[in-house]
Amino acid sequence: MARTTTERKAIRSLVWLLVIIIALIAANGASVLFNNGQWTPKLALDLEGGTQITLSPQLSTGEAVTPEQLERAVAIIRQRVDASGVSEAEINTQGNQNIVVSIPGEPDDETRERIQSSAKLEFRPVLAADLPSPDTIGEEGAEDPATDPSASPSAEPSAAPSPTASPTDASDLAWITPELQEQFDTFDCASLSAVGANVAPTDEPLITCEQDGSIKYILGPVEVAGERIADARAGLVTSSTGVTTNEWGVFMEFDAEGTAQFRAVTERLVALVGVQNQFAIVLDGSVISAPRTISAITDGRPQISGNFTEESALTLADQLKFGALPIGFEIQSSENISATLGVSQLQSGIIAGIIGLILVAFYAFFQYRALGGVVLASLIVAAVITYLIITYLSNQQGFRLSLAGVAGLVISIGVIADSFIVYFERIRDELRDGRSVDGSVEAGWKRAWRTILISDVINFLAAVVLFVLAVGNVRGFAFTLGITTIVDLIVVALFTHPLMQLLARTRFFGSGHPLSGLDPQALGAVYRGRAQFRAPVGVASTKVASSSREAQRRQTIAERKAAQSSSEGKDAR
């Protein structure tokens, strides 16, 4: 009865493993069919080659980039690229002013967009616009007067510009000279995207459009620079009574300097009417939002509300937060590169890995005889599962296998094989204590599982910490290390152990054939016979080692008899 239960359990485990493998194959198949996935993992830049984008700063004449600005820009771009998924983008500075972004493979439009919009963010007051904005900027909980009809502005600047007077502040309509007015009238929003980044000196007005080309603006000089933003997030707007509404908004936070600047501006703007009341947020020369000012912001924590969806609020928050580059950049070159010996490195890596595996297999057969076959089979199962998981993540999460990742896989051969070695050695220890083969498999498993579990926890911890905290190449490596650690646990619990349970019931292994690797004669009985290390079963003795004492206690009567007869057989020989 007990036997069949064990057997049934073992078979159930193997079925579970099969289910996992089939599920992984199905998931991969699904992504191949529906998501343009592949059956092979995507490779990183160092193995596959990739795209290298060189960004150079857009400078008005006479300006220079400081190393601090460049460093900040690199950090922000890295943040953006990393935010687009697990890709091993390498971001370097070149020649003290360029930034080089290396992206594995061909980046999709979204990723390219993220890098390309490495924009300069600035706040400028609106001088003129051909349409009013539905969005408002105010303090948290401020009433939204969007319904107020008086707020609707005139399509053309109402005040007649006087070209001779010099403007007194950024909102002064004196900025609009007749030439500027003419430029504004003839300006075509379609030309904006073609030009790319729209650079104007910070102390001069700018003609530009809403990002989608819907509204045309004349903007005053820059009042607050994008670097002044400390944080931005999207969330639901709280009304003046403190009740959370269903309306999405963007919450900003300025640093000390920005707070003072923003306060001065909003105090002025709130008194103005029409489009002049509006405040344009300019990203890379085009307006991403131009909310009306409904109150002066004194605490540096403005809130932008209006016709936001959750998505558009999140986008704006992201743009405010990550778009705050200290300088504007343009893509100077974007080219596909072949990796430094990448392909041949991968081939050599695979050849070396196969040679290594063959050597491991040889050693396993030499050490564990027929059990070497179990090691080999388990390693193959682990390889299949790892391959499927990596392919799946590569299709779904944009994970890319780098050379460092391959190294993680290679070290995992050792860690995974170690689980089997720990397990087999524990089984052998139990055999030495005089247990039957199937009893040893069970008892050895209980002890080995604990060890395997805690040591894999440590390995997994290392992988997680490295993945969360480290950047670039190290992440890809940590990722494969973490995956293989989990695979190790799956394989040893759902494949190796059940297989051992079933094998222990075969005659070859169960009777401890000399070639099975589980020969009790060679392992334990020798010492019971010759050195009287272990007193015959049944005679109470204090001379035995406590571990064997414990093993003895756990023995069934049948096992004890079997052990006794085998040791008698040994003596007789």
Partner 1 sequence: MSRLTQFGNDLYTGQRSFDFVGRRNTWYLIAAVFVILAIGFTALRGGFVFGIEFRGGSEFRVQSTSVVEQGTAVATSIADEAVASVVPGASPRVSIVGGDSIRVQTEQLTPAETEEVRAALAEAYGVAESDVSSSFIGATWGADITRQALIALVVFLVLASLVLAVYFRTWKMSVAALIALFHDLVVTAGVYGVFGLEITPAAVIGFLTILGYSLYDTVVVFDKVRENTSEDGVESRRTFAQSVNLAVNQTLVRSINTSIVAVLPTASILLIGSVLLGAGTLRDIALALTVGTIVGTYSSIFLAAPLYVHLRQNEPEVKKQGSRPRVARTESGAVR
- Give the footprint of partner 1 on residues 425-464 (CB under 8 A): 425, 428-429, 432, 447, 450-451, 454-459, 461-463
Nearer to partner 1 (CB atom), residue 155 or residue 355: 355
Give the shortest CB-396-to-partner 1 separation in angstroms.
Answer: 25
Give the shortest CB-331-to-partner 1 separation in angstroms.
Answer: 15
Nearer to partner 1 (CB atom), residue 384 or residue 411: 411
236 interacts with partner 1 by CB under 8 A? no
Give the shortest CB-399-to-partner 1 separation in angstroms.
Answer: 17
Query: Cα separation of 475 and 472, whole Å?
Result: 6
Per-residue contact track with partner 1, 111 to 150, x per CB under 8 A? ----------------------------------------
Nearer to partner 1 (CB atom), residue 25 or residue 464: 464
Under rule CB under 8 A, which residues in 545-564 are in contact with partner 1?
545-547, 550
* CA nearest neighbour of 121 among 249, 254, 247: 254
What b-and-e string marks burial along 376-414, b requiring 16 or more CB atoms within 10 Å of the CB?
A: bebbebbbebbbbbbbbbbbeebbbbbbbbbebbbebbe
215 close to 155: Cβ distance less than 8 angstroms: no
Nearer to partner 1 (CB atom), residue 438 or residue 519: 519
Of the candidates 71, 188, 231, 571, which one interacts with partner 1 according to CB under 8 A?
A: 71
Nearer to partner 1 (CB atom), residue 317 or residue 403: 403
Q: Is 444 helix (H, G, I), strand (E, B) or coil?
A: helix
375 close to 420: Cβ distance less than 8 angstroms: yes
Under rule CB under 8 A, which residues in 316-335 are in contact with partner 1?
335
Give the shortest CB-105-to-partner 1 separation in angstroms.
Answer: 15
Give the shortest CB-499-to-partner 1 separation in angstroms.
Answer: 19
Nearer to partner 1 (CB atom), residue 79 or residue 158: 79
Single out the segment in contact with partner 1 by CB under 8 A; choices: 56-64, 226-234, 246-254, 344-352: 344-352
Give the shortest CB-38-to-partner 1 separation in angstroms.
Answer: 24
Under rule CB under 8 A, which residues in 1-60 are in contact with partner 1?
46, 52
Single out the segment in contact with partner 1 by CB under 8 A; choices: 112-120, 197-205, 305-313, 516-524: 516-524
Of the candidates 147, 366, 557, 573, which one interacts with partner 1 according to CB under 8 A?
A: 366
Under rule CB under 8 A, which residues in 470-499 are in contact with partner 1?
470-474, 477-478, 481
Alpha carbons within 13 angstroms on the beta-carbon side of residue 207 total 18
Per-residue contact track with partner 1, 190 to 229, x per CB under 8 A? ----------------------------------------
Query: Cα separation of 564 and 122, whole Å?
Result: 88
What b-and-e string marks burial along 24-56, b requiring 16 or more CB atoms within 10 Å of the CB?
A: beebbeebeeeeebeeebbbbbbbbbbbbbbbb
Give the shortest CB-377-to-partner 1 separation in angstroms.
Answer: 15
Query: Which residues are bridge partners to 225 per DSSP?
Result: 122
Single out the segment in contact with partner 1 by CB under 8 A; choices: 25-33, 158-166, 183-191, 358-366: 358-366
* CA nearest neighbour of 400 among 81, 108, 87, 36: 87
Dig out the tokens for 534 from the structure. Answer: 């272990």
Single out the segment in contact with partner 1 by CB under 8 A; choices: 86-94, 106-114, 225-233, 237-245: 86-94
Of the candidates 297, 364, 389, 494, which one interacts with partner 1 according to CB under 8 A?
A: 364
Contacts made by residues 74-83, CB under 8 angstroms, sequence distance 24+: 74/99, 76/118, 76/322, 76/324, 76/325, 77/101, 77/115, 77/118, 77/325, 78/471, 79/322, 80/114, 80/115, 80/118, 80/322, 81/111, 81/114, 81/115, 82/471, 83/114, 83/322
Under rule CB under 8 A, which residues in 370-429 are in contact with partner 1?
403-404, 407-408, 410-411, 413-415, 417-418, 421-422, 425, 428-429
Of the candidates 25, 264, 370, 466, which one interacts with partner 1 according to CB under 8 A?
A: 466
105: left (phi over 0), alpha (psi -120 to 50) or beta: left
* Sign of the dihedral through C-alpha 60, 61, 64, 70: positive
Single out the segment in contact with partner 1 by CB under 8 A; choices: 133-141, 199-207, 249-257, 355-363: 355-363
| Residue type (1 letter), 162 | S
Q: Which distant-in-sequence residues (6+ apart) come within 8 Å of 353 by Cβ?
A: 406, 409, 410, 413
Give the shortest CB-384-to-partner 1 separation in angstroms.
Answer: 18
Query: Cα separation of 81 and 466, whole Å?
Result: 18
# binding residues, partner 1 (CB under 8 A):
94
* CA nearest neighbour of 443 among 379, 373, 497, 503: 497
Give the shortest CB-61-to-partner 1 separation in angstroms.
Answer: 22
Query: Cα separation of 431 and 548, whole Å?
Result: 10
Nearer to partner 1 (CB atom), residue 134 or residue 414: 414
Q: Which helix (H) or strand (E) holds 193?
A: helix 190-195
Question: Helices 2-34 & 473-491, crossing angle to 10 degrees?
Answer: 150
Nearer to partner 1 (CB atom), residue 34 or residue 366: 366
Per-residue contact track with partner 1, 519 to 548, x per CB under 8 A? x--xxx-xx---xxx--------xx-xxx-
Give the shortest CB-381-to-partner 1 separation in angstroms.
Answer: 17
Give the shortest CB-139-to-partner 1 separation in angstroms.
Answer: 37
Give the shortest CB-398-to-partner 1 separation in angstroms.
Answer: 20
* Sign of the dihedral through C-alpha 117, 120, 121, 122: negative
Contacts made by residues 340-343, CB under 8 angstroms, sequence distance 24+: 340/46, 342/43, 342/45, 342/46, 342/47, 342/48, 342/49, 342/403, 343/47
